């Protein structure tokens, strides 16, 4: 079966090469779009997906959007100290000037944290916030593609403050901007914000008594799951939906294109199948050989497109939101593989129906 499949394909190189190439193109497109989808998604919500928080307290009228939610928490902290297991989450947009490039401001999300709590993710490079005081910041490593290095200073025109980058963290982006961690002491001491405020409150394990106490103290708010907060991040759902829609249609298109190609090739070979059946080949052998060809084609093309997509991570400019996620890539590759087989299976019916008697002349 295998040898016959290969010999046939080698003989009709152009025909099979063309199908392989089309499958490669469509599969690459699917994989790249899925890479963009997960890259964009990460840029928008990575801080939340990576967060240890399980539930968020947000204003009831905020539609679960952190940026539409806000509380004054001065009194709350006195009444229910954070030691009981909650933390205030502040997402404060800042536009930094780096190295005096006034025209190219870097948009970031500043998050003040108590570095001893789970709200703070730690560093992968440089110094930790825990040991620092003053206007030191730990920033997401995507800022490296903007040219930010350790010990660089970032200036905020609005508050006239200059921050020093002491460390890098990873997977901390929010609303397409890198997250910048600063200590609460620095944030409030420098009076960036005159009052203790929070966009939302978080807990790191569900605790009904604590959560009820907080809801009772601060009316106007409610507890929601992390997933609901993520879904409500502006742009996230619509972005993902349109990209997933694209992937879905690409896969449907490839199903039809492949099925049509395999069908045409099968039709062209019906006479050969008749002859082979006449001299004693079984349906299982003929269908098996045809499916084998599809498997060979699909494995070849899909491997190439996985490699190609992987090489994209090097070719695409660094700031481009592109995420080569092996699991997603594997899922989509398997899906494309199944779709190819399904397309071929459709024409297998024609092979089974061929009457071997047509090989004998004179019965037109």
Partner 1 sequence: MTLPLEVKKLSKRFKDGENYIDILKDISFSLNQGEFVAIVGPSGSGKSTLLSIIGALLTSDDGDVLINGHAVSKLSEKGRSDLRLSQMGFIFQSAELLPYLHAFDQLDLVAKLHQVDKTERKKRAKELLSDVGLGSRIKHYPHQLSGGEKQRVAIARAFMNDPALILADEPTASLDEERSHEIVSLIKQEVKAKNKAAIMVTHDESMLSYCDRVFRMKNHTLIEDN
Ligand X SMILES: Nc1ncnc2c1ncn2[C@@H]1O[C@H](COP(=O)(O)OP(=O)(O)O)[C@@H](O)[C@H]1O
Interacting residues with Mg ion (CB under 5 A): 361-362
With b meaning 16 or more CB within 10 Å and e meaning fewer, what string describes 307-337? Answer: ebbeebeeeeeeeebbbbbeebbeebbebbb
357 contacts partner 1 (rule: CB under 8 A): yes
295 contacts partner 1 (rule: CB under 8 A): no
Residue 194 vs 362, nearer CB to Mg ion: 362
Residue 327 vs 360, nearer CB to Mg ion: 360
Contacts of 112 (CB under 8 A, 6+ apart): 90, 92, 181, 182, 183, 184, 186, 187, 188
Residue 60 vs 272, nearer CB to partner 1: 272
What residue number has its CB nearest to ligand X? 362
CB of 273 to ligand X, least distance (A): 18
Residue 220 vs 355, nearer CB to ligand X: 355
Report how far apart, in Å, the C-alpha atoms of 230 and of each of 55, 170, 198, 234, 305 are: 11, 18, 17, 9, 31
234 contacts partner 1 (rule: CB under 8 A): no
Report how far apart, in Å, the C-alpha atoms of 130 and of each of 136, 161, 201, 252, 340 are: 11, 21, 21, 52, 54
CB of 6 to partner 1, least distance (A): 10
What is residue 89's three-state secondary structure?
A: strand
CB of 271 to Mg ion, least distance (A): 16
Residue 240 vs 358, nearer CB to partner 1: 358
Which of 357, 325, 28, 48 is CA-nearest to residue 199? Answer: 48
Identified binder of partner 1 from the candidate list 150, 243, 257, 278, rule CB under 8 A: 278
Query: What is the CB neighbour count within 10 angstroms for residue 173?
Result: 24
4 contacts partner 1 (rule: CB under 8 A): yes
* DSSP annotation of 182: E
246 contacts partner 1 (rule: CB under 8 A): no
H helix runs in 129-235, sequence order: 184-189, 208-217, 226-232
Identified binder of partner 1 from the candidate list 7, 95, 349, 353, rule CB under 8 A: 7
Q: Can you give the binding site for ligand X, defined by CB under 6 A? A: 362-363
308 contacts partner 1 (rule: CB under 8 A): no
* N-to-C CA span, the chain: 31
285 contacts partner 1 (rule: CB under 8 A): yes
- Residue 13 touches which of ligand X, partner 1, Mg ion, none (CB < 5 to 8 A by kind)? none
Residue 281 vs 342, nearer CB to partner 1: 281
Task: Summarize as ranges the residues that interact with partner 1 (CB under 8 A).
Answer: 4, 7-8, 10-12, 271-272, 275-282, 285, 356-357, 359-363
């Amino acid at each position: 079966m295998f040898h016959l499949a290969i010999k046939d394909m080698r003989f009709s190189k152009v025909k099979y090469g063309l199908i392989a190439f089309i499958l490669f193109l469509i599969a690459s497109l699917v994989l790249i779009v899925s890479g963009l989808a997960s890259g964009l998604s990460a840029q928008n919500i990575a801080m939340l997906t990576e967060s240890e928080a399980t539930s968020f307290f947000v204003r009831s009228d905020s539609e679960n959007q952190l940026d539409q939610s806000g509380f004054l928490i001065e009194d709350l902290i006195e009444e229910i100290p954070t030691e009981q297991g909650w933390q205030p989450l502040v997402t404060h947009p800042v536009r930094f000037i780096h190295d005096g490039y006034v025209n190219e401001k870097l948009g970031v999300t500043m998050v003040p944290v108590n570095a001893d709590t789970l709200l703070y993710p730690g560093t992968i490079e440089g110094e930790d916030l825990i040991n620092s005081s003053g206007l030191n910041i730990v920033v997401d490593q995507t800022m490296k593609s903007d040219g930010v290095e350790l010990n660089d200073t970032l200036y905020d025109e609005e508050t006239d403050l200059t921050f020093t980058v002491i460390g890098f963290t990873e997977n901390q982006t929010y609303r397409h901007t890198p997250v910048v961690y600063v200590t609460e002491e620095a944030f409030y001491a420098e009076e960036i914000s005159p009052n203790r405020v929070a966009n939302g409150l978080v807990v790191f394990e569900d605790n009904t008594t604590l959560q009820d106490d907080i809801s009772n103290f601060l009316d106007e708010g409610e507890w929601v799951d992390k997933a609901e907060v993520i879904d409500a991040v502006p742009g996230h759902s619509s972005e993902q939906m349109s990209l997933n829609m694209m992937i879905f249609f690409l896969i449907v298109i490839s199903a039809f294109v492949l099925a049509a190609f395999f069908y045409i090739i099968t039709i062209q070979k019906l006479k050969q199948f008749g002859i082979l059946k006449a001299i004693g080949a079984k349906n299982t052998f003929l269908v098996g050989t045809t499916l084998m060809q599809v498997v060979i084609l699909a494995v070849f093309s899909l491997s190439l497109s996985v490699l190609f997509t992987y090489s994209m991570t090097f070719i695409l400019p660094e700031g481009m939101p592109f995420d080569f996620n092996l699991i997603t890539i594997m899922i989509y590759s398997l899906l494309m593989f199944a779709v190819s087989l399904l397309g071929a299976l459709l024409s297998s019916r024609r092979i089974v129906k061929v009457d071997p008697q047509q090989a004998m002349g004179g019965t037109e």
